[in-house]
Structure 1
Amino acid sequence: MSAGFVDRQQVGRRFSRVAGAYAEADFFVREVDGRMQERLDYVSLKPKRILDLGCSRGGSFSALMTRYPDAELIGLDLSPAMLRAGRLQPSGWRRWLGGGKKSDPWRLAADAAQLPLAARSTALVWSNLLLHWLDDPIPALAEAHRVLEVGGLLMFSTLGPDTLKELRSAFGDGYAHTQRFADMHDLGDMLVGCGFADPVMDMEVITLTYDDLDAMLTELRAAGSMCAMKDRRHGLTGRQAWATARAAYERLRQDGKLPATFEIVYGHAWKAAPKQTPDGRAIVRFDLPRKG
C-alpha cells in the first residue's frame, strides 16, 4: 500500500476533538477489544512488558492488567488529548498487591511507525483497531517486530474492505467516504514480510443497524471515525449530493432499519529467533552433546 493517502493530521484532530466524551462513544471499540481478549485465553504467555499500540483512553488497560497483573503496561497513542483523558477516568481498576499500589500504565504520545522503545524490550504488542488509520501498516508492523523480544506476540484487530460498504455505494461521487481497508490475506503477507512467524488471521462481520443515515453519521463522528483520507470532500456536501446518497441508502433498508457493515480482521503472530544477522549472514546453531 502506498504512502500519502491518509491525512494523519486529520486523524489526530478528529480523535483529539472527541477525547473528552470518547468513553460514551467507544462501544464498538470495546466490543472488539472483548473479542480480542477472548483470543488470549488460548495463548500461553507471561509477559513482563506489554505495549498497547493505539491505546486511545486506555480501554484495554483494565482487562490486560487483570490478565497479566505482574506486567508493566505502556499505552501509546498519536493523540495527547486521548492520553490525558484516560488519566482522568475512574481508576477502580488500579491494582493492589500486598498492600502496595502497582504503578499505573505509562502513557506515550508517539507514532506507531516510530516507537520510542528499545529493540526486544516488549513481550506482547496489543493493538485494537489502529492499522486502518495508517497509510501503510508495514512500518508499524515492522516496528512491533523490532520491539518484541524473541518469543513475543503481536495481537491486533483492524477493519477489512467490506467495512461501511453501504456508505461507499450510497455516495459514489468520486470522493472517499471511508478509510482504505487492507485485506486479511494482504495483512498476513505483511506479517511474514516483516519477519513474523506463524501468522494466524481470521475475520468476522458485525452489522449494526440505525433508524436513519443521520443517526449512523452522528455515531461515527462521536467516535472520531469519520473518513480521514486525503481525497475526501474538503468542502460542504451539496444538498443534491446528500439527497442522492440518502435515497440510495434508503434502498438498503431491511426490517425498518438501515444496515452498516463492519468487517473485523483479527491477527496474531510470533517473533521467532532470527535466521540471519542484520548483514545477511545465516545463523547456524549447534547443540553440543551434554556430558554425563
Structure 2
Amino acid sequence: MKLDPQRPDSVLARQRFDRAAQHYDAAAVIQREIGTRLMERLDYIRMQPERLLDLGCGTGLISEQALKRYALTQIVSLDLATSMVDYTRQRLVAESRVAGVCADANALPLQDNSIDMVLSNLMLQWCNHLPQVFAECARVLRPEGLLMFSTLGPDTLHELRDSWRQVDGYAHTSRFEDMHNIGDALLGAGFRDPVVDREVITLTYAEVRGLLADLKGIGANNATVGRSRGLTGKQRWQAFYQAYEQFKQPDGRYPATYEVIYGHAWAPLMKPSAKPERFIPIYAR
C-alpha cells in the first residue's frame, strides 16, 4: 500500500516535540491564542467534570487553565512526547490534582467510562487515523461526557506549501483534515450532536525565516513521510524564498495562514462494559 506523502511520520514528530519542550512556549504564539479561544468556549458548557483528560497536553497550557476553571477537577495530562509530559509536571508540580501520562492517543491507557471531559488543543492534526483517536475518546468518556478540541484545516500554511511546490516535488506540510471529514469521524465513533466550525487566523512576519524559526521552535517543522531525506541546498532555499514573494503584503510583511477548526460532541449514551485490564492508575505520576 502506497503511503500518503503528507502523512506525519509519528516517530520523527515525537522526537522533534521531545527536543522542543524547553523552548516551545517562546515560539507557540498561535498555540496559546487558539488554546485560549478553545477554553473560552467552555463558558457555554454547564458542566463540572470530576476527571478531565488534556489530550496532547504539550507544555501544560490547557491543563493549567483547566485547573483555574474547575476547582475540584482531577486532570490527566497526556502526550506522546515524554519531554512534554515532564515539562507539564514541572510546570504544575505543586498541583496534586494533575497526573502526567506519556501515551499514544490511538491507544489510551485509561479505563473505559473513566473521564468526564476530553480537551485537545492542536494535537489531532498529528494523528494519522482520526477515527481511531475519536473511538478511544468515546471509549474513555463516561456517557454524556464531552469532547472539545481544536485542530488545523487544509488551508493551513498554504503559502508555505504553494511556495515549495514551485521548487520541488517533496511534501513540506502535513495533510490537514477537512471539517466535514472531522464531523463524519465523530459520528462514526458514536458521538452525539457534533458541532464543528472554523476560523482563519493569519500571522505576519518581517521575514519568511521568522515563520520557519517558529515552526522549528515548537517542533512542527516538516515531519511528513514524503519529506526530502537530504539536505536542502542554498539554491533550493533561494528558490523557495523567491516563490514566497508572491504572498508579500503591501506593508512588506509575509503572511502565514492558519485554518483553525473547533469542534465539540457528546459521548454515546450506551457504551460497552469496562475492560479493567486496560486500566492504569489515573494518578500515576
Same fold (TM over 0.5): yes
Q: CA-atom RMSD, angstroms?
A: 1.7
User: Which aligned pairs between 1:167-178 and structure 2 lie closer than 5 A?
Assistant: 167-172=160-165, 173-178=168-173
Aligned amino acid, residue 11 of structure 2: Q
Comparing 79-88 with 190-199, greater Cα deviation is found at 79-88
Is 1:128 aligned with 2:121? yes
Of the candidates 66, 69, 72, which is equivalent to residue 70 of structure 1? 72
Comparing 116-125 with 171-180, greater Cα deviation is found at 171-180
- Give the Cα–Cα distance (whole angstroms) in 1 for the partners of residues 41 and 88 of structure 2: 25
Of the candidates 193, 204, 209, which is equivalent to residue 198 of structure 1? 193
> Whose relative contact order is higher, 1 or 2, with alpha carbons under 8 Å and at least 6 apart?
2
Q: Secondary structure at the match of 2:19?
A: helix
Aligned residue in 2 for 1:260: 256
After superposition, the C-alpha distances for 1:19-47 in whole angstroms (9 at most, x for unaligned) are 11222222221111100011000111111
- Give the Cα–Cα distance (whole angstroms) in 1 for the partners of residues 30 and 221 of structure 2: 14
- Give the Cα–Cα distance (whole angstroms) in 1 for the partners of residues 246 and 67 of structure 2: 46
Offset at residue 3 of structure 1 (A): 7.3
Q: Secondary structure at the match of 2:247?
A: coil
Structure 1 unaligned segments of length 5 or more: list them.
95-101, 279-292
Do the aligned partners of 1:19 and 1:82 also contact (CA within 8 Å) in 2?
yes
User: Which aligned pairs between 1:1-292 and structure 2 lie closer than 5 A?
Assistant: 5-89=7-91, 103-172=96-165, 173-254=168-249, 255-274=251-270
Do the aligned partners of 1:3 and 1:135 also contact (CA within 8 Å) in 2?
no
Do the aligned partners of 1:171 and 1:241 also contact (CA within 8 Å) in 2?
no
Aligned amino acid, residue 145 of structure 2: G
Comparing 61-70 with 152-161, greater Cα deviation is found at 61-70
Q: Secondary structure at the match of 1:60?
A: helix
After superposition, the C-alpha distances for 1:83-136 in whole angstroms (9 at most, x for unaligned) are 112223376xx5xxxxxxx61410000000100001110000110001111112
Q: Secondary structure at the match of 1:74?
A: strand
After superposition, the C-alpha distances for 1:34-87 in whole angstroms (9 at most, x for unaligned) are 000110001111110000000012111221111111111000000111111222
- Give the Cα–Cα distance (whole angstroms) in 2 for the partners of residues 114 and 180 of structure 1: 22
- Give the Cα–Cα distance (whole angstroms) in 1 for the partners of residues 35 and 104 of structure 2: 21
- Give the Cα–Cα distance (whole angstroms) in 1 for the partners of residues 121 and 178 of structure 2: 16
Aligned residue in 2 for 1:284: none
Structure 2 unaligned segments of length 5 or more: list them.
274-285
Q: Which 4+ runs in 1 deviate beyond 3 A?
A: none
Comparing 26-35 with 163-172, greater Cα deviation is found at 26-35
Do the aligned partners of 2:57 and 2:88 also contact (CA within 8 Å) in 1?
no
Aligned amino acid, residue 20 of structure 1: Q
Q: Secondary structure at the match of 2:109?
A: coil
Aligned residue in 1 for 2:279: none
Do the aligned partners of 1:10 and 1:228 also contact (CA within 8 Å) in 2?
yes
Aligned residue in 2 for 1:283: none
User: TM-score scaled by structure 2?
Assistant: 0.90
> Equivalent pairs: percent with the same residue?
45
Do the aligned partners of 2:64 and 2:92 also contact (CA within 8 Å) in 1?
no
User: TM-score scaled by structure 1?
Assistant: 0.87
Shift of the 90–65 alpha-carbon distance from structure 1 to 2, 3 Å rule, reads: closer
Judging by fraction of residues, say which structure has more helix.
Answer: 2
- Give the Cα–Cα distance (whole angstroms) in 1 for the partners of residues 183 and 159 of structure 2: 26
Aligned amino acid, residue 241 of structure 1: R
Offset at residue 209 of structure 1 (A): 0.4
Q: Secondary structure at the match of 1:174?
A: coil
